[in-house]
């Protein structure tokens, strides 16, 4: 096939990029090679718009065993064990075909974890949907939740937590970010390297079909409104049963020392796995594509190289151990075929039916993809907010009820009861709390896991919003008694070729970097998802943070639920006169307004250290991060979770609405035995953390008073019933399509 400018453009390659291809090759590429370049240099695989900025992340630390650049990051947790974790997006496919899109997203992240040699033990997901009354939206929500459930449940990997936000800004482009963490012996980590000339290259797992061809390229384009059905064939179809077999087979194989390197065939399938494995090792590979197990007859080399069929792996093993490797996969009834050999030529050479169909240098495709410093120009400042001049509401109790019943704040058990969150018998803290806690069997330790970002804050100020995402995750994890260890991230943005989007991206990366430095934690893996736009409208910047924390002793954990009648309640941290970006403004006033709350990273760190210190001395009965909905919602959540009312008097110097519903950062609600009051006040003062005593736990009502102002005074059972039923009612209230 002749390589025409149209064909080049159809592969989403610019004229300049094509010029570079000619330079690298010293000749014209053929059709197969063009397809390979197109996939490898897609935004999705090459990070060409983001790479320059991602270099700012702190990625090292004494516990880091593997930083960014592999299938997942790995961090030491002691006892000879490590945690491998990563977060990935599957936004575009999930919008087009919600069930399969979300399911294969889970499948992809699980493969990333077990390719490292780790057994996946817990998943999280971070979901952003449009308004529930937007076209197709209930169908999308239902499909995404079923898809995550369908895949994760069948694999036997618990989904232990997550977050869900609804806003019309996601009507045309939802976000599905999935996280997984696995446990691996620190000295048995496997990497994606094709080492040792002469070693066999083995294809394992499902057969290759025509599904998902050019999926990576699709994720690197904007949508136009009417394209969702045309794009459906680009979405892959998942088979969790096969992946379960693949998981068990791989872990059985890893217990031997036969494997040299292994990589998941994820985005860009066989293309990225061959080039990246050879690129990382500085080696080459020679592959006979006619040996690749095909699901359909007549597949061309181009299709085989670009298919994104799921549940496939590429591995390199020691040449004398091949029979053993094949036998393990045979036991698990999986295809495993030697399709080529490692070479020392630095080239990926492909044959098909005895004919050479591609001959490309490995490293330049993998590592020397274009890097763009795209122009940036922050968007114009929004008009000044109206809330500072607005009168106070007349009924704060009604405000609280409305916020508790809003889709964003209401309890989401409709979602997480569809996920098996208990399989594996490690789930110590079930969904619904601040951070999920999973124990590490065979040790006294546990992991605290949390995904976080407030996209409303990010829309107002991407730098602060991103820094707050890290701070809030750290706060949630510290509330449980876990020490933040490291993060992964999933950076969801619009079209990077637009200067305002690129400005958001750069600011968010800076925000995450600064916050990570303040907490002294590294970024060890991550993913960038650009082009989250439909009809030219970008999503709010949504840099999702997935954080892993460590509890050295699971018995020292703290939960958010009020625990004992008579306990005292206190607020840690400073409340400012802030309502910007709050759920109160969105739900009660019906507006998105700024400014984004301030963030004081040093104060956030002090708060976290204090929480950890108090947890370690068993001084706390409960601890809960103050976030969406503000102080009143945090108090209500702790009360509802513990089925214990409270009598609260909030002293304060800011307007009552901000006191109750403002979302000032750096705060937590804690409760403790009445005898601990002085001890805790002294330790907070010593730590430099403001503390306000709020009242005591007990009774059937939640009463929150402020001087002479009319108090919130609600029956806790009614409040709980409202909070628990609101989401279920709104999602089930209309037909799904």
Could you list the active site residues?
44, 90
Nearer to another protein, 564 or 728 (CB): 728
| Plot region of 649 (φ>0 → left; ψ -120 to 50 → alpha; else → beta) | beta
**What's the min distance (Å) between Cβ of 446 and another protein?**
9
Phi-psi region of 388 (alpha: psi -120 to 50; beta: other; left: phi over 0): alpha
> Cβ 224 to another protein, closest distance in Å?
34
Locate 284 and state its tokens: 């080459």
Instruction: State the nearest-atom distance from the C-beta of 395 to another protein, in Å.
Output: 33
Nearest distance in Å: CB 426, another protein: 8
Give the C-alpha distances (Å, rounded to integers) separating 595 from 58, 117, 458, 590, 599: 28, 45, 11, 16, 12
Nearer CB in complex with another protein: 251/687 = 251
Q: State the nearest-atom distance from the C-beta of 669 to another protein, in Å.
A: 22
Closer of 155 and 313 to another protein (Cβ): 155
As measured in angstroms, the least distance from the Cβ of 149 to another protein is: 5
To another protein, the closest distance from the beta carbon of 153 in angstroms equals 6
**Helix, strand or coil, per DSSP, at residue 531:** coil
CB of 630 to another protein, least distance (A): 29
Please give the torsion angle defined by the CA atoms of residues 418, 422, 424 and 425, in that order, rounded to the nearest 10 degrees.
Answer: -170
Residue 560's nearest CA partner among 437, 412, 661 is 437
C-beta of 240 vs 522, nearer to another protein: 240
In terms of Cα–Cα distance, which of 669, 550, 686, 521 is closest to 606? 686
Q: Which tokens belong to 151?
A: 């895949």
Tokens representing 335 are 């295809």
Q: Report the residue number, 311 or 714, with the smaller CB distance to another protein.
A: 311
CB 174 within 8 A of CB 131: no
Phi, psi (deg, nearest 5) at residue 127: -120, 135
Structure tokens at 548: 């892993």
Q: Which residues contact 513 (CB under 8 A, 6 or more apart)?
A: 56, 57, 58, 523
**Which is nearer to another protein, 111 or 341 (by Cβ)?**
111
Q: Which is nearer to another protein, 482 or 580 (CB)?
A: 482
Residue 132 and residue 185 in contact, taking contact as beta carbons nearer than 8 Å: no
Name the residue nearer to another protein (CB basis): 518 or 559.
559
Residue 566 C-beta-side C-alpha neighbours within 13 Å: 4
| Rounded Cα distance, 414 and 664, in Å | 29
Instruction: Supply 665's token pair.
Output: 């950062």
- Which of 249-252's residues contact partners 24+ apart within 8 Å by CB, and which partners? 249/204, 249/328, 249/329, 249/331, 249/332, 249/334, 250/114, 250/115, 250/313, 251/114, 251/117, 251/119, 252/328, 252/331, 252/332
* Pick 150 or 630: Cβ nearer another protein: 150
Q: How far is the CB of 417 from another protein (least distance, A)?
A: 5
Residue among 377, 209, 367, 374 nearest 294 (CA)? 209
Instruction: Give, in order, the Cα–Cα distances in Å from 497 to each of 15, 378, 436, 676, 715.
Output: 16, 13, 37, 56, 53
- Residues in the site for another protein, rule: CB under 8 A? 146, 149-150, 153-156, 239-242, 244-245, 332-333, 413, 416-425, 427-428, 430, 439, 441, 554
3-state helix, strand, coil in the chain (%, to 5): 40, 25, 35
CB of 737 to another protein, least distance (A): 15
Give the C-alpha separation, 379 to 461, whole Å.
Answer: 10
Quote the Cα angle for 237-240-246, to 5°: 115
Q: Which strand (E) or helix (H) includes residue 84?
A: strand 81-89
Identify the burial level of 16 via C-beta atoms within 10 angstroms of its C-beta, where 0-12 means exposed, 13-18 middle and 19 or more buried: exposed
Sheet hosting strand 81-89, strand order edge to edge:
64-66, 73-78, 81-89, 175-185, 119-129, 159-166
- Least Å distance, CB 559 to another protein, is 10
Of 288 and 429, the one with the shorter C-beta distance to another protein is: 429
Residues 147, 109: contact at Cβ < 8 Å? no
Q: 170, 130 in Cβ contact below 8 A? A: yes
Q: Which is nearer to another protein, 99 or 457 (CB)?
A: 99
For another protein, give the closer residue by CB, 239 or 472.
Answer: 239
In angstroms, the CA 220 to CA 170 distance is: 18
Question: What is the nearest approach in angstroms of another protein to the Cβ of residue 146?
Answer: 8
């Amino acid at each position: 096939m002749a390589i025409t400018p149209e064909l080049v453009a159809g592969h989403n390659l610019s004229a300049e990029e094509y010029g570079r291809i000619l330079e690298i090759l010293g000749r014209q590429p053929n059709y197969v090679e063009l397809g390979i370049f197109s996939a490898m240099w897609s935004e999705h695989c090459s990070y060409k718009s983001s790479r320059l900025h991602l270099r700012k992340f702190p990625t090292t630390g004494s516990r880091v065993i593997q930083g960014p650049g592999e299938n997942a990051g790995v961090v030491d947790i002691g006892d000879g064990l490590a945690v491998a974790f990563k977060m990935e997006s599957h936004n575009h496919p999930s919008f087009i075909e919600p069930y399969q899109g979300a399911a294969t997203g889970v499948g992809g992240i699980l493969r990333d974890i077990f390719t490292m040699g780790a057994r996946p033990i817990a998943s999280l997901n971070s979901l952003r949907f449009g308004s529930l009354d937007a076209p197709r939206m209930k169908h999308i929500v239902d499909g995404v939740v079923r898809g995550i459930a369908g895949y994760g449940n069948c694999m036997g990997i618990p989904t232990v937590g997550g977050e869900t936000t609804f806003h019309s800004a996601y009507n045309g482009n939802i976000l599905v970010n999935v996280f997984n963490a696995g446990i691996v012996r620190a000295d048995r980590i496997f990497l994606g390297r094709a080492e040792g000339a002469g070693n066999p290259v083995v294809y394992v797992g499902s057969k290759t079909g025509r599904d998902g061809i050019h999926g990576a390229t699709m994720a690197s384009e904007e949508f136009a409104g009417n394209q969702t059905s045309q794009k459906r064939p680009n979405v892959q179809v998942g088979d969790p049963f096969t992946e379960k077999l693949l998981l068990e087979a791989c872990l059985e194989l890893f217990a031997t020392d036969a494997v040299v390197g292994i990589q998941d065939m994820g985005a860009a399938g066989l293309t990225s796995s061959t080039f990246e494995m050879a690129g990382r090792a500085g080696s080459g590979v020679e592959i006979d594509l006619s040996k690749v197990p095909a699901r359909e007859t007549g597949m061309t080399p181009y299709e085989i190289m670009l298919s994104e069929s799921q549940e496939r792996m590429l591995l390199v093993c020691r040449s004398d151990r091949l029979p053993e490797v094949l036998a393990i996969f045979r036991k698990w009834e999986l295809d495993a075929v030697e399709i080529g050999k490692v070479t020392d030529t630095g080239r990926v050479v492909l044959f098909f039916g005895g004919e050479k169909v591609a001959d490309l240098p490995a490293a330049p495709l993998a590592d020397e993809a274009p890097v763009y410093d795209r122009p940036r120009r922050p968007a114009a400042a929004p008009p000044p907010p109206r809330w500072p001049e607005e009168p106070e509401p007349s009924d704060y109790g009604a405000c609280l009820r409305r916020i508790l019943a809003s889709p964003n704040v209401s309890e989401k058990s409709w979602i997480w009861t569809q996920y098996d969150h208990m399989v594996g018998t490690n789930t110590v803290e079930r969904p619904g709390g601040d951070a999920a806690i999973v124990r590490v069997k065979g040790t006294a330790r546990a992991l605290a896991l949390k995904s976080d970002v407030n996209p409303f804050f990010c829309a107002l100020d991407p730098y602060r919003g991103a820094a707050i995402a890290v701070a809030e995750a750290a706060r949630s994890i510290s509330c449980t008694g876990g020490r933040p260890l490291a993060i992964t991230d999933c950076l969801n943005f619009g079209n990077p070729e637009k200067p305002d989007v690129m400005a958001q991206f750069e600011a968010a990366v800076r925000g995450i970097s600064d916050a990570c430095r303040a907490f002294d934690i590294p970024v060890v893996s991550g993913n960038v998802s650009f082009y989250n736009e439909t009809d030219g409208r970008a999503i709010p910047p949504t840099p999702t943070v997935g954080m892993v924390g460590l509890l050295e002793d699971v018995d020292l954990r703290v939960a958010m639920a009020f625990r004992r009648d008579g306990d005292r309640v206190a607020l840690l941290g400073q409340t400012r006169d802030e309502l910007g970006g709050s759920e109160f403004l969105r739900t009660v006033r019906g507006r998105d307004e700024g400014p984004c709350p301030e963030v004081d990273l040093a104060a956030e760190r002090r708060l976290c250290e204090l929480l950890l210190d108090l947890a370690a001395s068993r001084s706390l009965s409960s601890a809960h991060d103050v976030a969406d909905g503000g102080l009143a919602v945090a108090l209500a959540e702790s009360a509802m979770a513990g089925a214990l009312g409270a009598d609260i008097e909030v002293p304060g110097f800011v307007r009552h609405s901000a006191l109750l519903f403002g979302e000032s950062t750096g705060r937590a609600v804690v409760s403790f035995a009445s005898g601990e009051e002085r001890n805790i006040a002294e330790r907070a003062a010593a730590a430099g953390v403001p503390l306000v005593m709020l009242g005591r736990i007990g009774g059937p009502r939640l009463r929150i008073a402020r001087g002479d102002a009319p108090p919130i005074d609600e029956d806790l059972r009614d409040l709980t019933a409202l909070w628990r039923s609101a989401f279920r009612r709104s999602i089930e209230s209309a037909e799904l399509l």
